[in-house]
A and B are shown apart, each in its own frame.
Chain A
Amino acid sequence: QVQLQESGPGLVKPSETLSLTCTVSGGSLRSYYWSWFRQSPGKGLEWLGYIYYSGGPYYSPSLKSRVSISVDTSKNQFSLKLSFVTAADTAVYFCARGPYSNYGYFEHWGQGTLVSVSS
């Protein structure tokens, strides 16, 4: 059974870069897409973007200028970077496998990690 685990700082200063890593265990990154989401009381669940195991990221247009997703198949990890953060970027961040199949669903998720933006 594939498992995902987010890791990274829980506190980031305004204007700095948020960096998170998702480690995948129990399965390979190969042949799948891998996504990042965030969830905050004010904005609900938000999909940030995905990357295919061999590269080729796609970013949500609302964050495209600030977000970067990369993959490291040798470590079975993929990562999120969000630059120039503000308090509005405070949220629980999730990684997930997908979108999966033609119907673009997300079957396996990490437990989520809270990132707060504050000085």
Chain B
Amino acid sequence: DIQMTQSPSSLSASVGDRVTITCRASQNIGSYLNWYQQQPGKAPNLLISAASSLHSGVPSRFGGSGSGTDFTLTISSLQPEDFATYFCQQSYSKPYTFGQGTKLEIK
């Protein structure tokens, strides 16, 4: 199985801050990387597919980049509704696997 490692595991930031979350794959996965946001008690919500393609309806302050083994999710200016947990997911090969999550908390 492909292992996905996110860093940091948790992050404290303030409204208006720019934040970056990193996801590393245990092998080359090309651009087969998706990002999700999860609010407490809710299902994951797709933000970005194919490493950098913003999903319909997702605010433009979210951005994704990377290929191969190293990927980043950037939020350019944090809004109150962005404080949540973020997951990366590889779809290069089955079984599909997720990072352990990055919890973004209010400072």
Contact = CB atoms under 8 A, between A and B. Distances in A.
Interface of A: 44-47, 58, 60-62, 94, 96, 99, 101, 103-107, 109-112
Nearest to A47: B96
B43 A110 contact: yes
Contact of A99 (B43, B50, B96, B97): B96
Interface of B is mostly: loop
Given A110-B43, A111-B43, 6 more contacts: A47-B95, A47-B97, A105-B34, A106-B44, A112-B42, A112-B43
Nearest to B97: A47
A102 B8 CA distance: 29
A106 B101 contact: no
A104 B49 CA distance: 8
A6 B50 CA distance: 28
A107 B57 CA distance: 12
A91 to B, nearest CB: 13
Interface in B14-58: 31-32, 34, 36, 42-46, 49-50, 53, 55
Interface of B: 1, 31-32, 34, 36, 42-46, 49-50, 53, 55, 87, 89, 91, 94-101
A46 B1 CA distance: 12
Contacts of B31: 103
A111 B41 CA distance: 8
Contacts of B1: 61-62
A109 B34 contact: no
B101 A111 contact: no
B87 A45 contact: yes
Contacts of A103: 31-32, 34, 49-50, 53, 91
Given A44-B100, A47-B96, A104-B96, A111 B42 contact: yes
Given A44-B101, A47-B96, A47-B97, A104 B32 contact: yes
Contact of B55 (A60, A62, A107): A107
Contacts of A45: 44, 87, 89, 98, 101
